Chain A
Amino acid sequence: MSYNKDGLRWLLAEMPKLRGRGVLDDAAAEALTKYCHDELDLKPPPWRFIYTLFYIGTGMIAAGIVLFFNYNWDFFSKPQRLAIAAIPLALAFVSAMITILGQKGQLWREFSAVLTSVAAATLIGVVGQIYHTGGTLGQYVSLVLLVSLPFVYIFNSIALTTLYSFGLFLLLSRSGLGPMRNFYCFLGAFGILPMLHIQISGDNPNRVWARYLMAVIAVFGLIGCGFDGGYAPLSCFALAGTMIYAGWRLSERHETYLRNPWLWMAFIFMLTLLGIASTYAGFFDAYDSTENVWNVWAYWLFTGVVLATNIRLFPKSRLDAKRLATGLAVLLPLLYFCHVPPATMKIVFNVYMGVYGGVLMLDGFKRGRLLTYNGGIMMVLLLIICRFFDADLGVLPRAIAFVTIGAVLIAANFIFFRKRFREGR
């Protein structure tokens, strides 16, 4: 809707020009102007406003009742407290039965899924409170997530998928999860992936939001699975590279920026990674402090899943220069395992960053895609800035290198424009 409105606003702004050049006569311009104004003045249907108020009101009444019970909690006996704590779960069961047996629509499914999970989480928490049992945030969240996951699939619920995806971050507290904590993080992320793949596929109305959630899960997996083990550069570059791939596919289907978070998010991530890799040689040193082999497995499984889920995009895409250059980002960190010294790795990534930026600029220029061209410029500029402030290189070599490369670029530009001028383009 907002996209269409942007288009209408643009058309309105262009109207005087179109009228002035005779593209539209006065009658057509007036009719079109009236149409645009009518469309832009459209308000949300009144029932939506009424529904919103109803939901907020119901939520506030429920919250008030919870606080009322909270205030009087100590006056209830233990069985009464347990019974009160079980009420939301009983309501959730009724709601689920109405949804399933009455074959209700998406709104009911979302409501039942969220209510069942929240009610189960409440009961688990309150039982812990009644018996004053111990337990950490990590243990509680892992149990709640485990209980909630089936309801995500049963009700095909995007709302519960969202809660689950963000709830996963509470696992990063890592308290009480024991030595296999990274592996639990992997399982938590892996459990929701099939649902996200269902949501992003085809014409699913939730596909844009599911793309954002996929990025959220990727960030969680990266932190949770690689926290104290594995080889961070590989998974970071794999994630950034493959997500840029996926973003390009969407971009070629003319998805707008906001509907295609993979491209800009992954590109910013890639820029950051390349900035560090080309500056800090120690970035490629393996850091492995994990005491449990399952945590190492968690890291490699996560990296494998990232590559496996996104690699399916490769054969379907045209394998052009920019894609090859992006693919190299995933492969280059593997040089570390060939015992390439860190200082050499740094040089390799400096060269790679320059080449990658150049390839993007050239590709954007050839295809007339400003987005790719600007991406290339950003990468080259970042490389220049990083090297300008580089403390490892002497001032004189830097000065000579900057002047030389600058002169070569201006000369290349001159030759390039002369050639195009001769060709009459």
Chain B
Amino acid sequence: MLTKPNILRLVSYIVFFAAALYFPGRTVYNFERPAVPPVEMRFKLRAYDPYDPLRGRYLALNVICPPKNDKVKSSTSGRETAVRRETAVLEKDRDGFAVVSELLPSDGVPPTDKPFVRNVHFAVFVTLDDNKNVTEIRGAEMPFDRFYLNEPLAKPAEKLLREVTRDPKRSAVLVVDIHRDGNWAVKELLVDGKPLREVLRAAAK
């Protein structure tokens, strides 16, 4: 026969266990059964390879989405440009890659009929190539900056991506499902049109 404190403990445990299950469960449900199908967007990228002690090995992605045209400008002004976060409304360009069509302040109301991503950082980014030539890229730095990989695959993946992103004839594309509420899930990383894992496994054989 259960004592009163244990009955209370049992009921509380079931309630809070359900609450604990709710957070990951809701994430899975939202991604697997969205009310409105997500829009698949493709982003060109660069990459390097760090480690997350909590979630394992991943490729850190550098996704800078270019603006649709020169009229797209930051929605805010001020000195703290490095920490400024905005909402980017996205469109597809002629090649099917994502471009930023509009920038809204972080507390702005995003459109209901267009895909958008929150927490982007719009700025002019400076990069150096192998010959130390400076290139300026104007665009929105996207929040999807990780692609998780198995440990044995991480090193060759890093090497492969470094080669691909420096070769103008080859392509590295990140495929992301953008949901109606601005939520997103990285779907695949394509190297020359093929999933990265497949390319790596084929190379390993």
Contact = CB atoms under 8 A, between A and B. Distances in A.
Which has the most chain B C-beta neighbours within 10 Å: A140, A150, A155? A150
A120 B23 CA distance: 9
B74 to A, nearest CB: 19
Nearest to B177: A131
B150 A74 contact: yes
Interface string A145-173: 00100110111000000000000000000
A10 interface: no
The bracket for how many chain B residues form the interface is 35 or more
Interface in A81-105: 82, 89, 93, 96, 100-101, 103
Contacts, number: 88
Nearest to A127: B24
Nearest to A151: B16
B166 interface: no
A100 B20 contact: no
Contacts of B185: 131-133
Given A103-B6, A131-B186, A70 B56 contact: yes
B10 A100 contact: yes
A289 interface: no
Interface residues of A, number: 34
A125 B58 CA distance: 13
Contacts of B3: 103
A123 interface: yes
B56 A96 contact: no
B124 interface: no
Interface string A399-422: 000000000000000000000000
A140 to B, nearest CB: 7
Nearest to A120: B20
Contacts of A143: 23
Given A123-B24, A127-B27, A132-B144, A74 B19 contact: no
B5 to A, nearest CB: 10
Contacts of B147: 132
Interface string A116-134: 1000100111111111111
B45 interface: no
B48 interface: no
Contact of B2 (A74, A101, A130): A101
B23 A125 contact: no
A96 B149 contact: no
A143 B153 CA distance: 30
A155 B147 CA distance: 37
Contacts of B186: 131-133
Nearest to A155: B9
A127 B28 contact: yes
B163 interface: no
Contact of A70 (B27, B31, B151): B151
Contacts of B144: 132, 134
Interface in B23-43: 23-24, 27-28, 31
B12 A150 contact: yes
B148 interface: yes
Contacts of B28: 82, 127, 131
B56 A129 contact: yes
Given A100-B9, A103-B6, A116 B17 contact: yes
A71 interface: yes
Contacts of A140: 54
Contacts of B197: 74
Contact of A74 (B16, B21, B54, B149): B149
A101 B144 CA distance: 45
Contacts of B152: 71
5 contacts: A100-B9, A101-B10, A147-B19, A153-B12, A155-B9
**9 nearest interchain CB pairs?**
A132-B186, A150-B16, A120-B20, A131-B185, A74-B150, A127-B24, A129-B55, A147-B20, A129-B148
Given A70-B150, A150-B16, 19 more contacts: A70-B151, A73-B150, A100-B2, A123-B24, A124-B24, A128-B27, A129-B58, A131-B27, A131-B31, A131-B185, A132-B147, A133-B185, A137-B54, A147-B20, A150-B12, A150-B19, A151-B16, A153-B12, A154-B9
